[in-house]
Amino acid sequence: MISTDPLLNSPARPQRLCCLINQGIVPYLQAWEWQKQWVSERRDNPQLTDLLLLLEHPPVYTLGRGATLDFLKFNPTSEPYEVHRIERGGEVTYHCPGQLVGYPILNLHYYQQDLHWYLRQLEETIIQALAAFNLKGDRIEGLTGVWVEGLLPILLL
Concatenated DSSP letters of 133-157 = TT--EE--TT--EEEETTTEEEEE-
Q: If you average pLDDT over residues 131-142, what whole number do you get? A: 92
Residue 10 has pLDDT above 80, yes or no: no
Band of the pLDDT at 6, cuts 50, 70, 90? very low
- pLDDT tens profile 54-76: 999 999 999 999 888 888 888 88
- pLDDT tens profile 13-45: 667 889 999 999 999 999 999 999 999 999 999
DSSP for residue 17: P
Q: What pLDDT does 143 receive?
A: 86
Bridge partners of residue 39, in order along the sequence: none
- pLDDT tens profile 87-106: 888 888 899 998 889 999 99
**With 0-12 CB in 10 A as exposed, 13-18 as middle and 19+ as buried, what is 75?**
exposed
Residue 119 has pLDDT above 80, yes or no: yes
Which amino acid is it at 128? Q
Closest CA to 32 of 115, 103, 136: 103
Closest CA to 139 of 130, 128, 127: 127
Residue 145 has pLDDT above 90, yes or no: no
Contacts of residue 30, defined as CB under 8 A and 6 or more positions apart, other chains included, come to: none
Residue 116 has pLDDT above 50, yes or no: yes
Residue 156 has pLDDT above 80, yes or no: no
Q: What pLDDT does 104 receive?
A: 93
Which amino acid is it at 54? L
Contacts of residue 87, defined as CB under 8 A and 6 or more positions apart, other chains included, come to: 65
